[in-house]
Structure 1
């Protein structure tokens, strides 16, 4: 039957039929109560008179249903009835299930079917919503065929210890694609997403109460609690399309996950010098030399490595003698995230310079961490270095023993003995009031004026560059989309989405004169609106951006890539006509 219907659809798409097209609307009720659900069915039918040419696919355009809650919507080709060919026959069908949310009379705008270059629209539908007399509530129905779930690696941990939160989607549908999703940040946690790798997380099967599900791992996060108590992980929401085929746009289904709770325990009896590290760590410390001259530098490298919340270690304390100049340490970190937590190392490189000769002690470095397995505090301690500093060649003038004053050892040029004699000079020989003085005095004003002139020229030049970028934005973007077309032909779906997204973002950056860091959906929407872009083009652009971004979270079949590519070109062409420079 499916094969026969497919052949008939193909023939209808090629030949001229002695029929006219019309849109028929049927409904379950037009007088629902508040919180009651009702169904509208729109069919594109042949009414049996005239002739019409059908070529290509049939697209459906529906209103936003702002006054109702959309439960589900589906567009596709219904089955054919072969009882009598001259009877009314539906070529395309669109079904939407709505829920009334408030009392009143509401008008639903027409649904249209796009056939080639012609649009066929339904009549408007008027719905009268009455008061809730049957006690209905708006509690969403559970879908046992499709649901989301957040799974925690453990439910009770110490503050600073990690937990892995895995976001999964369970499905019994044979075909499933992710349309949009929202993963709120968990409050009270330091979050690090685990990289899924080039091929993403694998799809697995799981048996739940005797029912087999396809399990899609959307993301995995390492969570490190920053406070104690009962902390809740916010649920994620997602909109998916089930059973989409070349002849059927599929069923759109919205889901939300659970919101699990983690018990975060306080680490008791922590010493005052507790570093905050939780896990298992080791320390390596080394000094570059222990014998040197004054004014010569010493490097001390301290490396902390292991597994745990290394990202929270900002500094370590290394005691130096007072006669040493000590600089802020350089930090180097090599930390990676996996399902077993963070692991790697942090290295602190201290540079210090002694200013006088003598024998000194440096160190030790001491670090205390908590081991959750043994439930004990562990102290890591370096050795204490004995350093011998010889007087440098230029330091003899800085160490002076005076016979008629107290012995004073000069540690810097800021300390000098009192001079016992003075030398007077003529007023005409003073620097103040001289020609050189007035030259130096007036030079900042002259330089300021020169700076203003240069700045104005640079801004003018920048405006010219921005204008050139605006004019070339479309050409540059279309060239970038050629790369996306190559990836599309090669069926490299992930690379295609990246190239398409890059082309659109580069166009918006140049056309709207924005920085790359400013390119988010809110900023794009507001700037395009100000420049005169229509809401239809803006929403199409946001839709394409979201679909490309979602493809980076979960692998897709790439069935929509050709349509996305064509929409990208259409967006650029329309914006070129609509935007005001």
Structure 2
């Protein structure tokens, strides 16, 4: 008997996501109970079809049975077509697994036979093609380009689509533009009248120079192809699927010119307006000002940094708060970005914030532009005076004749080269006894720390005292900012009560506070003033208030807390 052969053969082991794969399961015997494998990562578009052939040559017979499938990849990746099986003479035979690699979509030559068959079935020249339209193919770094994906069709119905391979934009900053509703429009494709629908819009900003590749978008399109009319004159359609791809696109990105590039250039490309705006230029000691550094216009708004201001040492500047109000459309990004710096003066006087420079590359002129902000003078009206530096014309030290050779010593001092041995020295015995002295101290300190840590109530009181002082100090700093001031003031008063009355936030009702303070010998008028001020904090946050009334509330809070500190026992 001949040896049983059962194997799986594929048309190719590597194919594009828009290509079809043929797989044949071939046997040299008439096996029964054929079981197909699970085609993970693929969809069956045709099959199984069965072919049987038998021949006799020189008295010998040969037999072959084939089960054939046509598969379409669902996505990119590496997949394994598992084993198929048959039975022959009571024994089970299996094929070996086959590994298939699915890559990006590839350019496909039109099959004349398929096209003729297609035209014959549809009765006309059907069109179905996906096109990626690029606004610029030779942009500068950070110059916006748009990619619009259009599906052209004619003579067939499109019933739906699914993405097989999403385009990747390596070395591009990218953002999709939302399409609220797909609309069918009329247009031309290669000189032929047809319909099209815009499926996807993307804005790209290249981040490096050279030839950059946009990987293709591939779609699985559900279609209906007309194959004729029935006896009633109605058009009859055949349902099917077809894979289309926009193909890879290459963008040749130009580097920004090095000639005349400003030193402070941080990558801004477009058209911008630059401003440095202080919230105030005259202020008192303890007050703060906001310095807003902003750039507005059109360009790569999210892809560069604003310059940082340089201020004198007498002005304390905090890290900025960054804000972006940017919208993105097919023409690119537009809007405004800003950095807000909080500056607090430390001394009385007049201080200059140096002019700032902002540079960008202007696409219209193909050159660099620099905008310089004016110098800003800050006048601090009161506060401590900064210590004056020594005048540059102070008298220099004069070396007298008697001191001219002072560094030369007239007498020689000899030092013995013999050294005492470390063993038996005072240092030796000191280091020897040190562990016995330090261990009891460590044990006592540890026990004391454990006792302190176990005192939950005491720790809570200390923490609340610290918080009350912290928020009262914060309220003083926020005298010019109404809402933060009253929030800090309210927290300071609540934490003061927590520390003094040993209560939690859930127990801080008005009646409970009045009862507890009265039981601790607090003056009823002071208690009423405290409750009234805490109620006023919530109301004053949203009501208009002057700087005089804010200062008055702060002074009142300090006075009430001081009085309660004396009265509570």
Name the TM-score, length of structure 2 as normaliser: 0.48
Name the TM-score, length of structure 1 as normaliser: 0.47
Larger radius of gyration: 2
